[in-house]
Structure 1
Amino acid sequence: NMGVVVFGTFAYTASPLTYDLEALSYLLEMTTIGLAGESTAIGDAIMQSIRTLSFGEAENKAIILLTDGYHNAGRTSPEQAVEKAKSLGIKIYTIGIGKKSDYDAAMLETIAKESRGKSYAASSAEALSKVYKEIDTLEPSPIRSENYLNQKLLIFFPLALVFLLLFIWIIYQNRSET
């Protein structure tokens, strides 16, 4: 179960928790830098992530904080947000992207350490992919055993039944008129 919180000057939940990784991937492709403002509200992003995670039922919860900037906006400090995450048992994995001089590596390290997560640096798409794979091994999630039908299929069957019954009714009406 994953969700996406986008942040800049402000933070917002772009996708609630979902199992639809394809939809999340598409959402991330459509997200542009500056969409939520030009500043970096890391504390607000963590708090919004905590709110988003509160709707989930998983026993172990984690935040992956991906940033290319310094905390310079928002109402909540990163320290306050980390304290809240710690109190709820939520780990935070931080990833600084780009050159280390572009983001506050020391702060990201502190956030990760305080929340029992881990801090990473990624200067390329390949490095970022490796980081995600490592986090995936650190935070294994059980595979859902229940069968979930595609929602499109769930609506197709009742509609098909309605059309079939309507077709039978029309044929019956035509036969009874003749």
Structure 2
Amino acid sequence: MLSWEPWLKILIYTFLVVALAKPFVYDAAGNQHKKGRDLVLAIDASGSMAQSGFDEKDRFKTKYETTLDLSADFIKHRFDDNMGVVVFGTFAYTASPLTYDLEAMESMLKMTTVGIAGESTAIGDALMQAMRTLSYGEAQSKAIILLTDGYHNAGRSSPKAAVAKAKEKRIKIYTIGVGKSSDYDAALLDTIAKESGGKSYAAASAAQLKEVYKEIDKLEPSPVRGENYLNQRLLIFFPLMAAFLLLLGWVLYPKRSLLLGDGK
């Protein structure tokens, strides 16, 4: 056996171990100066969101599924916003904290289902939880987009108390009533939006909800600096390629030696 073969095996093994460790580098250059706002989507996941027929193109899709799809499309276009998601029903919880990693946030949003937070509708708790989520952001402009198809009938916090807190913190609330106007408390949503400096919308269909999102998408951005989110780039290709080339050379070298030997 040639004396260099053990060292070659060690080198190949080392490159394979490095590849399995999934080496990566961070690139922070593109995320250090963001323009936008701290924005939280508060999405109703109560039992009534399981109703179908909201999307005229696909009558079998539930209101919640359609809302998730359109919300995901809205998220994709908010490149400079620091966004989060709150899901609510009987209680409210943060499905995604504020982040610039909108792809990851979209994935976490799609993991939620109808009834995951209970069957009732706690609008006050949803707004309170959204404000807690916003408290971790540093943007000058903060906003909540509340989507619901029901009446406030659960939770520890009242919508009135939540709105008072939002006014104190200068957080705008944009409300969207999903479905028929008789299904949700349109007067309450209108009051929440007006008192917080936001705007109230009605979306009786998927097409209308899409248009509402387009209008909200035109919100003026304000400067915000992102210091924590960094792009991750995997480097697994390089050690794998190095191991492959060394292994290929090891396999071909004896054959080349035999060919040269036969020619003598």
Aligned residues between the structures: 159
What TM-score, normalized by structure 2, do the two folds share? Answer: 0.55
Alignment match, 1:43: 124
Counterpart CA distance in 1 for 2:231 and 2:197 is: 36
Query: Is 1:6 matched with 2:87?
Result: yes
Change (3 A) 1:84 1:140: same
Alignment match, 1:176: none
Alignment match, 1:90: 171
Deviation at 1:22? Answer: 2.0
Alignment match, 2:146: 65
Change (3 A) 1:124 1:142: farther
After the TM superposition, which of the residue ranges 119-128 and 71-80 deviates more from structure 2?
A: 119-128
Counterpart CA distance in 2 for 1:90 and 1:37 is: 26
Partner letter of residue 215 of structure 2? E
Q: What SS does the corresponding residue of 2:114 show, helix, strand or coil?
A: coil
Alignment match, 2:214: 133
Deviation at 1:151? Answer: 2.3
Change (3 A) 1:58 1:145: closer
Q: What SS does the corresponding residue of 1:151 show, helix, strand or coil?
A: strand
Among candidates 24, 27, 33, match of residue 114 of structure 2: 33
Deviation at 1:144? Answer: 6.9
After the TM superposition, which of the residue ranges 18-27 and 77-86 deviates more from structure 2?
A: 18-27
Counterpart CA distance in 2 for 1:145 and 1:23 is: 16
After the TM superposition, which of the residue ranges 130-139 and 104-113 deviates more from structure 2?
A: 130-139
Counterpart CA distance in 1 for 2:150 and 2:174 is: 16
Query: Which consecutive unaligned segments of at least 5 residues does structure 2 have?
Result: 1-81, 244-264
Show CA shifts across 1:34-63 (max 9, x none).
110000000000000000000001100000
What TM-score, normalized by structure 1, do the two folds share? Answer: 0.80
Structure showing greater radius of gyration is 2
Partner letter of residue 43 of structure 1? G
Query: Is 1:80 matched with 2:164?
Result: no
Show CA shifts across 1:31-90 (max 9, x none).
222110000000000000000000001100000000011000000000000000000000
Query: Which consecutive unaligned segments of at least 5 residues does structure 1 have?
Result: 165-178
Counterpart CA distance in 2 for 1:149 and 1:89 is: 29
Query: Is 1:21 matched with 2:102?
Result: yes
C-alpha contact 2:92 2:125 (8 A) present in aligned 1: yes
Identical columns (%): 75
Change (3 A) 1:28 1:141: farther
RMSD between superposed Cα atoms in Å:
2.6
